[in-house]
Chain A
Amino acid sequence: MAADEELPFRPDGDRFAISLPTEAREAMRQLAGQYRTLLREQDPTSDPGVARLFPPARDDDPLANLEFENATHAPLVAERLKNVSIVERTADDESITQDDLLAWMAVANDLRLVLGTRLEVTEESTARDFAADPERRETFPMYQFLSALVGTIVEALPEPVG
């Protein structure tokens, strides 16, 4: 097990210390920027990965589902874009607030949903499954990188108050 100091995110008073290598920070910044472009240029009907971010709330009632989408889609896009901006703003920071860390977690998890949907991952997927396809072979390590980020952020966060 790694020593505490080597954890990429760890509580530090009421803030969180980030110790990620420069390449990981740059990867996160670039992925966040690509995610913004995706949110602005695609919608659930044009991209399966985006569709996964906005699932139907009412699969029994198309009209009610449309009403739900009309009420929730724009605010949810705005929330996701705000998270992207927070990640870009804090990508090089050594110490961030809990709200910032939650934005990191949200962006990383949203990107996992997009990439995982594109890759058609299963719970058993390994790098070998994507070795034959050049594009997927490059995408899967990013997906794994984001999985590790989300997992370590969940561990770093305090237990939500029940």
Chain B
Amino acid sequence: MGGVAQQIEVAPVEVERPVGDEVHEPDLPWIVIVWNDPINLMSYVTWVFQKLFGYPRAKAERLMMDVHTKGRAVVSSGSMEKAEADVARLHAHGLWATMQKDT
């Protein structure tokens, strides 16, 4: 691993991390990003976020609107294994999801 190019500006809304904490490289969590597409219905995307992550409707709608208006949103974070599993489930539901190391 390493040498990961950070080409993506991460949407800030849903990333939860302590402010001012020194984060060491091995502990960096992975983030899962959903990208906007012109096909998936807004109601469907909201439903998928509720279903897969157990988010309340308001949070799922906020994330969906972030995807829709900003082009992307961070929808989950955690270990590499969790991020991989989340991306796989999002792909199974037809959403355009990628994962990367948080910085």
A contact set with B: CB distance below 8 Å: 53-61, 64, 68, 71-72, 76, 79, 105-106, 109-110, 112-113, 116-117, 121-123, 125, 147, 150-151, 154-155, 157, 159-162
A55/B96 contact (C-beta < 8 A), A72-B91, A160-B51 known: yes
Question: Smallest CB–CB gap between B48 and chain A, Å?
Answer: 9
**Cβ contacts B1-26/A at 8 Å (1 or 0 each):** 10011110000000000000000000
Question: Smallest CB–CB gap between A52 and chain B, Å?
Answer: 8
Give 8 CB contacts A-B under 8 Å. A57-B91, A72-B88, A76-B92, A105-B44, A151-B43, A154-B44, A155-B43, A160-B50
Using Cβ atoms and an 8 Å threshold, which residues of chain B touch A160? Answer: 47, 50-51, 54
B contact set with A: CB distance below 8 Å: 1, 4-7, 38-41, 43-44, 47, 50-51, 54-57, 84, 87-88, 91-94, 96-100
Using Cβ atoms and an 8 Å threshold, which residues of chain A touch B93? Answer: 106, 109
Q: Quick one: which of B7, B39, B87, B97 contacts A116, CB cutoff 8 A?
A: B39
Using Cβ atoms and an 8 Å threshold, which residues of chain B touch A151? Answer: 41, 43-44
**Chain A binding surface SS class:** helix
A162/B92 contact (C-beta < 8 A), A58-B99, A58-B100 known: no
- A162 adjacent to B56 (CB under 8 Å): yes
Q: Of all chain B residues, which has the CB nearest A61? A: B4
Inter-chain pairs besides A106-B93, A112-B39, A162-B55, 7 sampled, C-beta below 8 Å: A58-B100, A60-B7, A110-B94, A116-B39, A121-B38, A123-B38, A160-B50
Q: Rank and list the top 9 A-B pairs by shortest CB-CB distance, nearest first.
A: A116-B39, A160-B50, A160-B51, A162-B56, A57-B87, A154-B43, A72-B88, A123-B38, A109-B94
- A57 adjacent to B44 (CB under 8 Å): no
Q: Of all chain A residues, which has the CB nearest B50? A: A160
